[in-house]
Amino acid sequence: MGVEARTEPIPLARPVLGEEEERAVAEVLRSGHLSLGPRVPAFEDAFARRLGAEHASAVSSGTAGLHLALRAIGVSDGDEVVTSPFSFVASANAAVFERARPVFADIDPVTLNLDPAAAAAAVTDRTAAILPVHIFGYPADLPAFERLGLPIVEDACEALGAVHADGMAVGARGHPAVFGFYANKQLTTGEGGMVTMGDAAMKERIDSERNQGRAPDMGWLDHDRLGFNYRLPDLACAIGLAQLERLDGLLADRARVAARYAEALAGIEGLGLPCPDTGGDVRGWFVYVVQVPRSHDRDEIMRALRDEHGIASKPYLPAIHLMTFYRETFGHREGEFPVCEDVAARSLALPFFPQMTDGQVERVAQALARVLGQAP
């Protein structure tokens, strides 16, 4: 039994769902109101209140939210959107959806977020927006991007719970900011997303475009603009409301696991750890990503962790500009963004979820030390 517990596989992520979510879903099922019902505005209002944002629009995914947010600030054909190559592919894809060109700029080697100086250097007279990503939940330097005087869309898909140095929650600055609720996120609805923003007219546009371009007071089949089906169903909103209730605990547990990792991994030579909070910024913990030593092969580390220790890990994230679609469509090649490329080649996500025990963290740390040849 003891041996079994020690060798039990440790997954990368695991959502925390309980009786509250079950009850919330059952209530929606009993009500029969599965979409466009009362849980949508209830979830939006609770989410906006939690962040201190003026408005929020629930959408079917983070990707859908990014698409609608870029449309809402007017990005269209031939525009350029300056963004980070070290992100999940959706942040760049959203610009391509509108036939705009994602223009990448290199990242800060410490925070791994878009470097404001590099972003400023990438601005041209065709730049329609800056799209910073709060990568791995660490707040991007929004005040620096705001000084560029261009429209901003924030990719906050990984950053629920993050706080800027000035005390403002990520997502509450007024720019459209997009959160994601996929199953590995701080708050999950299975699939889903939320756009927060300061402008009521923008909310009206996003609410319409997520719902096939229908105006709020229009008949079912009249449409005054092009729209999509990016709605978030009431079932998902009900789960989201229950998850919001437990969010403080979920975030605290994630922070506890991260602190435990920082201690347990501190002695491993050549291993890069996530940057600690500095200058008043607070990370909303989403993943625990380390940089493996340059002397080791990442694939081999992953294989050994899995096969010899039952521990899941994943390269996270690959550089967007080096993905096949981006190479073939935009002619990108290696060497363009050296900081991003170095970080992307060494990044390894370790198991990370709120219920992770100190013992599991310890086991991952010991296994990693062993695989790197630093433990017996």
Ligand X SMILES: Cc1ncc(COP(=O)(O)O)c(C=O)c1O
Catalytic residues: 185
Q: In whole angstroms, how close is the CB of 304 to ligand X at the nearest point?
A: 27
Structure tokens at 372: 């790197």
Euclidean distance between CA atoms 319 and 194, whole angstroms: 25
Q: Are 232 and 40 in contact (CB under 8 A)?
A: yes
Give 287 or 371: the residue with its C-beta nearer to ligand X: 287
Residues 116, 132, 193, 233: which binds ligand X (CB under 6 A)? 193
CB of 374 to ligand X, least distance (A): 31
* Dihedral sign for Cα atoms in the order 79, 83, 88, 89: positive
Residue 285 in contact with ligand X, rule: CB under 6 A? no
The token pair at 359 is 């013992």
Beta bridge partner(s), residue 350: 288
Among the residue ranges 57-65, 120-128, 214-222, 335-343, the one whose residues contact ligand X (CB under 6 A): 57-65
> Quick one: which H or E segment has residue 315?
strand 314-315
Respond yes or no on whether the N-terminal peptide bond of residue 317 is cis (omega within 30° of 0). Answer: yes
Of residues 152 through 191, those in contact with ligand X by CB under 6 A are: 155, 157-158, 180, 182
Query: Could you say which of 44, 47, 62, 347 contacts ligand X (CB under 6 A)?
Result: 62
> In angstroms, what is the minimal distance from the CB of 152 to ligand X?
15
Q: What's the rounded Cα separation, in Å, for the pair 151 and 225?
A: 22
Size of the site for ligand X (CB under 6 A): 14
Residue carrying structure tokens 């580390």: 301
Q: Which of 373, 371, 358, 336 is nearest to 85 (CA)?
A: 336
Nearer to ligand X, 158 or 281 (CB): 158
- Contacts (CB under 6 A) with ligand X, residues 206-225: none
Query: Between residue 87 and residue 126, which ones bind ligand X under the rule CB under 6 A?
Result: 87-88, 90-91
Would you say 63 or 208 has its CB closer to ligand X?
Answer: 63
Give the range of 61-69, 205-213, 318-326, 351-359 binding ligand X by CB under 6 A: 61-69
Closest CB 15 distance from ligand X, rounded Å: 14
Closer to ligand X by Cβ: residue 156 or 367? 156
Nearer to ligand X, 130 or 157 (CB): 157
Task: Give the residue among 42, 287, 53, 286 at the shortest CA–CA distance from 169.
Answer: 53
Buried b (16+ CB within 10 A) or exposed e, 135-152: bbbbbbbbebbeeeebbb
Least Cβ distance, residue 59 to ligand X (angstroms): 9
Segment holding 25, helix H or strand E: helix 19-31
* Closest to ligand X by CB, 211 or 264: 211
What is the number of alpha carbons within 13 Å of residue 148 lying toward its C-beta? Answer: 25
Identity of the amino acid at 43:
F
Residues 63-92 that bind ligand X (CB under 6 A): 63, 87-88, 90-91
| Minimum distance from residue 185 beta carbon to ligand X (Å) | 7
Closest-by-Cβ residue to ligand X is 62
Pick from 133, 258, 271, 302: which binds ligand X (CB under 6 A)?
133
63: exposed, middle or buried (Cβ count in 10 Å: 0-12, 13-18, 19+)? buried
Chain residues in the site for ligand X (CB under 6 A): 61-63, 87-88, 90-91, 133, 155, 157-158, 180, 182, 193
